[in-house]
Amino acid sequence: MSKETNRLIDIVAKLRAPNGCPWDREQTHRSILTCLLDEAYEFFEAVDEENDDMMCEELGDLLLQVVLHAQIASEEKRFDIEDVAKKIADKLVRRHPHVFGEEEILSPEETILRWEQIKKSEYGDNRRKYMVDDIPDALPALFRAEKMQRRVAQVGFDWNNPEPALDKVEEEFKEFREALASGDSRHAEEELGDILFALVNVARHHKISAENALRAATYKFAKRFKYVEDRFREKGEDMREAGLKEMDKYWEESKKNNDS
């Protein structure tokens, strides 16, 4: 490992030592679990903003989480950072026989299929009885739906083109309207889920990430609404006392001024 990587490992070990930081010493894998997610999402934001300094910093925060989890495991004599690095290095070599072996693979699609074949041979039936068993429940819902759809598509459970997928969205939207009209909120929630799942399928067929698309739309909404808030602040008026018509006027302005 490099000098700086070793330095980071030594720092984390010292923080966890008996004379180290009281907070760091009491942490467990579970207590810091959400930190890993938080740092990953902050890296997402850095990528969206195309901010190299921020990306570098957030990758460092992610690396810290990996080193910290490895340090905790090392103290319990379970595994250490070297085991972590060896396991992923071995896996990369094993699952890329077209790079490190004699196999010839010509397309990204073939690469993914071969990856899954090797993965299945590694785990056998002990880890994954069904194709979708190892897709974590904790993934963001849209991303999990896309991953599940991609997985089953590998055995041909998929439409050959995007049109039937789009028709399915329209079918599900009709059923959602009917559920709303019935007043059955649980049924409406189920049908809304079906719409979202179907939309993910359409996006996947068009090579669009539904997760990224929704994140971008939410970011755009926030940017536009901040513009609306700024206009009311400039006028010294309370938004809560304004009507939707006036707010919508500034909303339309924000679309013209900030969406370029």
Contact 254, 227 (CB under 8 A): yes
Q: State pLDDT tens for residues 170-196.
A: 999 999 999 999 999 999 999 999 999
| Structure tokens given for 107 | 């397309």
- Res. 46: pLDDT tops 70: yes
- CA 114, CA 108: separation in Å to the nearest integer? 10
Mean pLDDT score across all residues of the chain: 92
Chain center to CA of 58: 15
Residue 104 inside a domain? The answer is no
Residue 108 inside a domain? The answer is no
- CA 65, CA 57: separation in Å to the nearest integer? 13
- CA 17, CA 37: separation in Å to the nearest integer? 25
Q: What is the reported pLDDT for 113? A: 83
Q: What is the reported pLDDT for 259? A: 64
Same structural domain for residues 73 and 25? yes
Q: State pLDDT tens for residues 201-226.
A: 999 999 999 998 998 899 899 999 99
Q: What is the reported pLDDT for 138? A: 84
Look at the alpha carbons of 241, 244, 246, 248 in this order and tell me if their dihedral is positive or negative. positive
Percentage of residues in the chain having pLDDT higher than 70 = 97
Q: State pLDDT tens for residues 50-87.
A: 999 999 999 999 999 999 999 999 999 999 999 999 99
Same structural domain for residues 74 and 11? yes
C-alpha distances (whole Å) from 217 to each of 194, 198, 213, 223, 224 are 20, 18, 6, 10, 11
Residue 7 inside a domain? The answer is yes
Chain center to CA of 16: 30
Total number of domains constituting the chain: 3
Same structural domain for residues 139 and 201? yes
Residue 109 inside a domain? The answer is no
Contact 89, 83 (CB under 8 A): no
Residue 29 inside a domain? The answer is yes
Q: What is the reported pLDDT for 124? A: 64
Q: What is the reported pLDDT for 112? A: 84
Does the model's pTM come out above 0.85? Answer: no
For the beta carbon of residue 97, count every other beta carbon within 10 angstroms.
14
Domain stops at, among 44, 72, 94: 94
| Structure tokens given for 221 | 């909404």
Percentage of residues in the chain having pLDDT higher than 90 = 72
Residue 153 inside a domain? The answer is yes
Give the domain CATH number at 86: 1.10.287.1080
Measured in residues, the chain has a length of 260
Identify the helix (H) or strand (E) that includes residue 252: helix 244-258
- Res. 145: pLDDT tops 70: yes
Domain that holds residue 76: 3-94
Residue 146 inside a domain? The answer is yes
Same structural domain for residues 222 and 168? no
Residue 117 inside a domain? The answer is no
What DSSP state is assigned to residue 259?
Answer: -
pLDDT band with cut points at 50, 70 and 90 for residue 128: low
Contact 188, 180 (CB under 8 A): yes
- Res. 130: pLDDT tops 90: no
110 or 149: which leads in pLDDT: 149
Same structural domain for residues 74 and 21? yes
Same structural domain for residues 7 and 82? yes
Alpha helices of 3-107 — where are they, by DSSP H? 3-16, 22-25, 33-48, 52-75, 81-94, 97-100
Q: What is the reported pLDDT for 118? A: 87
Q: What is the reported pLDDT for 139? A: 87
Q: What is the dihedral of CA 165, 171, 172, 178, to 10 degrees?
A: 170
